Structures are given as structure tokens and as C-alpha cells.
Structure 1
């Protein structure tokens, strides 16, 4: 068994079923084959990988190491396949896009469907990551363009085209003393902003674009933030705040989906905190006609997000 993806699937199914016969049925293979496969792997490794003396089955410590090994091999194979795709796609153009995870769910559906309809021969590779990593990938020509926010902080050597944006809000959960029932968006002057900033917060971590801006807001009001929890994802931070873990600062494109929930949104002054979208390419690098069409599609798209 040399294929890591297949082996991962077999292990996951077996752990879920905690029964070799049921797992084999789900995998459309015979029970003896599955049993012998696991035994062969264990013999080759010289150790047991599955605790099967009691239900539910679990991975042994050795099994966890083997499972992580399979995951790493699988990830490396997929990464290699993506890296080679430009050279093995038989003339089919590949456009590699770096983007912030929180923006990808909003920006890409507004741009890619029409673009791909016009360019069915183009393949898209999406790489989600933090701003610094995405900029480095673009500067090293590991991607062809980068969609992000806050163009003012872009590294030298990158050319940005700007379009659209959105405002930020402080999310006030229902369990807060500042929560006002039956209101969604509060009036800007309904609370003293500095007082709100002194509450416990759930924030994205220091590498994120939004955290850099939020730190500036705290500094402007000379408040040392009480960070109850941090996350790699602003979407996760927003969901934690909505469920009462603390306040957070989030954007319209994320929050507009939450209008049915009992939360308040306190709008922040766009002069203090605002998202501006951009698409960037490396200066001096030749832009293909298809990539230029993608840039044009970005510039023409309606990307001004608001909560009404």
C-alpha cells in the first residue's frame, strides 16, 4: 500500500466503524484484505498502529506518528503536483492566486465564475495565507498575483490595483452588559469607543492584516487590549465572539451573514479603520493576457461590501 491518501481513507474508515467487516463494506473491499493490509503495515513498521481490543478503535502512539507521516506525504505530493502543473498541463495556462482566507470567501465568488466562463482553458490555483507570506510568495514568483487588503503596507516591488472595500465593526455579544436588545447596528455615538475597547477581546493573531490595523486602533486610544483568546482566522474569532467569548473586530463581508443572531455591531469610523481591497503583481514581471483579464475583472467587480 504505497498511496498515502488511500491508506488515510482506510484508517479513518476503520477507526470510525471500529469493526473490520463494516469498514471493509464501506470501502468496497473484502474484510480479509483490510485485516491483512493493517497487519502487513504493522509488521513492516514493527509496531501496532491500532488499538482494537476495545471499541471504539483508536490509534496507538505509533499509529499517530504513522498517520501524521501519511498526512505529510500526502500534502507534499499535492504540493509537488501543484508546483509542476504549469509545466505538465499541456499548454493550459495556470494562474496562481495568493489571498487572505477571510477575503477568499467574499472576493473570489464575485470574480472567478465570470472569468472562468470567459477563459475555460485557464486553471486556477489558490493559496491562502497571511499577508507577509503571500507577499513573499509573489516576490519569489511562486504565485502570479495576490489579493489582499491594506495596500499601504505592501512590500516594495509589488504593483497594486485598488477596488472596493468595507468598514469594520466591534461585535458585542448578547451576554455583554453593552448589548442592546432588538438592535443590530448601533449608532456610532451610542457608546464611548474607548470604553468598548477596554472589554475582553477575541482577536486574530499578530500575522493577520486585520490585527495590524486593530492594534493601531488600540494604540490610538492608548488602550492595552485584554486579549482573552486569539485565532489564526478572523472567521473563527468572529464566531467565538458571537458565542460570548468576548468582543471582536470584524468586517461587513463576514458579519452580514449573522444578521439573524442576537448581537450588536458598533460601526468604526472608516477614517480610523477600513478595508481597501487590492490585487497585486510583481513589478516588472510579464503579465499574460489571461492574467490581465483577471486583473480587469477584479477592477470592474462590485466589491463595496455593506450591511444594510
Structure 2
């Protein structure tokens, strides 16, 4: 539909430009030769037709375009300014026409991506450089907000694509699973009594009434952890709440409290939690009623490439009829 509208607008603009081209060529000819007759001959049209076009333009503008007081007809000051303007319009339209055709042929466009700041630091450097390299004419707009706000913006069609953790029970999205991520229990200090990997919720009972670093429920990740604690009847003492996962990791590494967060290399106080017990899916999602645009398909292609995903085997959830 958008492409049809663009092409319709272009056709209307082309009709108006044909009129402009006529008067532009005529004024250019008169400026060069100083003669209406010679201009008509050079353009292979009749002299009366040239005079008619000039008269119509002068009537419309309510100003004389020619100085007819001398032997050789010259452009008036207004005629010179008008010709300069028409030449400028011609140049601008040529650029606009090229741009519109690029968009119509999916060679140019824009895509808006919503992602939380924490994930943006990790994910965007993996995807954006290659996307820009392969699709230099596509404009990429990045919005970094708490994930719940991004979800809302996608649903309201303010953002094209959401990248983040899989929100529980949201049937307004079509999801593509990009990766399955393990989480870790961060402890205030190294505790050798813990197993090398936590495989059962009972091993987390130590959290009860202990200082705990929480992620705000404005973030999908925060909602995931809250649900996990609730289902397993774990009741830690929530002493601090943050929105940025990396901030939480830094606080946990300083021994502020326990936390359940993505693992970080070289963190000695982080104990892996089995994926069978708790995991997070990193997903790319758009509205279930929104078709994938060429720009979205291009971004998805690069993401699959960088995450080493076989498109034929990628897990898709939601209404896939329009995906």
C-alpha cells in the first residue's frame, strides 16, 4: 500500500514537472538566443505555442518573465529568478525521484529497533556494523528504553522490532527465538558449599530473608525473575532495585547481595543455574498483525547470520501467518 501511494505521488509530481520543464526549456532558450522564434525552432515547437506558454506562466505568477523593450528579448529579473528556481527544482526532484524509486524497490528505507540499554551494549555491536555494511541505504533508528515500554511502543506501532527477553504470555507479538541463555546465581562471597551448577530450586532456599538485588519489573527480565521466585516460594529481602542488568552485575560482584543474572566471564561468585530450572530466551519480535517489511527482513537476516541461526530451524511463536 505504501509503495502504491509513493508511486501515485511520484506520477502527480511528474505531471507538474512536465509543465515546469516546458517553461524552463523555453526560458533557457530565450536567455541563450534572445529570440522566441529561435527558441521555438530549437525546441521543435511553434512560435505561437511558445508565446502561449510564456503568457500562461506570466498570468499565473502575475509578473513579467521577459523584458521585451529591446531588440533582443531578455529575461526580466523575475524571469531569471524563476529560471534559477526551476533549475533547482529539477535537481531536487531528480534526487527525490531516485530516492523514491530506491524505496519502492526496497533499496532504501528505515527500521526502528527497541532494546533495553543493558542488552543494547551486548547485542547491537554484534549486528549493527554488518547491517550498515550490507545495507548502507537503510536508516537504522535505535531506541533504548525499559523493555515494558518498548513492548508498548511496538504494539502501538511506534517501533518496528523489539529485541529482548521473551515476555510471558504476550499473544500480540510474533517472536523469533535468537538464543537460549543460561542464568547464574551471584553470591555476596565465594561459598564452596554450593554445587558447581544449581539444578534444583531447593538449592536456592538460602535466598530466603537474604539481601537480594532485584531488576525492576519495568524490565521483562525483572518479571521473569519475580515469577521464578514466586513459583518456587523463594522469599529474599529485596534491598535494592535497578533497571540496568549490568549495574546489577556490578553490585553483585561487589558483594551487595544475592542476585539471579546473566553470567559474566571471570565472575568467581556466579554459580550457573541449569537451563532445565531457569533460562531466558532472547527474542526478536514484531506485532502479530504487522507484515515484515523489507527493512525488517534485512535486519532479521543479519541477526540470523550473526547468531549462527538456520532460518528453517528457527523457533517462531505467535501468529506466523503474517511473519
**TM-score, normalised relative to structure 2:** 0.57
Where does 1:75-94 land on structure 2 (aligned, <5 Å)?
Answer: 93-94=109-110
Contact 1:151 1:278 in 2 (8 A): no
Q: Structure 2: where are the runs of 5+ without partners?
A: 1-98, 101-107, 310-323
Residue-by-residue CA offset, 1:8-31 (whole Å, 9 max, x unaligned): xxxxxxxxxxxxxxxxxxxxxxxx
- Give the corresponding residue for 1:136: 152
Residue-by-residue CA offset, 1:75-102 (whole Å, 9 max, x unaligned): xxxxxxxxxxxxxxx6652211001222
Post-superposition offset of 1:147:
0.7
Post-superposition offset of 1:211:
1.6
Which of residues 99, 116, 140 in structure 1 aligns to 2:132? 116
- Give the corresponding residue for 1:188: 198
Residue-by-residue CA offset, 1:99-126 (whole Å, 9 max, x unaligned): 1222212222222211110001112111
Which of residues 220, 224, 244 in structure 2 aligns to 1:213? 224
Report the count of equivalent residues: 204
- Give the corresponding residue for 1:278: 283
- Give the corresponding residue for 1:265: 270
Post-superposition offset of 1:271:
2.6
Q: CA–CA distance in 2 between the matches of 1:110 and 1:192?
A: 35
- Give the corresponding residue for 2:120: 104
CA RMSD of aligned residues (A): 2.8
Where does 1:152-301 land on structure 2 (aligned, <5 Å)?
Answer: 152-154=168-170, 156-174=171-189, 179-180=191-192, 186-188=196-198, 192-252=203-263, 255-256=264-265, 259=266, 263-301=268-306
Q: CA–CA distance in 1 between the matches of 2:197 and 2:236?
A: 23
Determine whether 1:150 maps to 2:160: no
Post-superposition offset of 1:251:
0.4
Bigger CA radius of gyration = 2
Q: CA–CA distance in 1 between the matches of 2:217 and 2:180?
A: 22
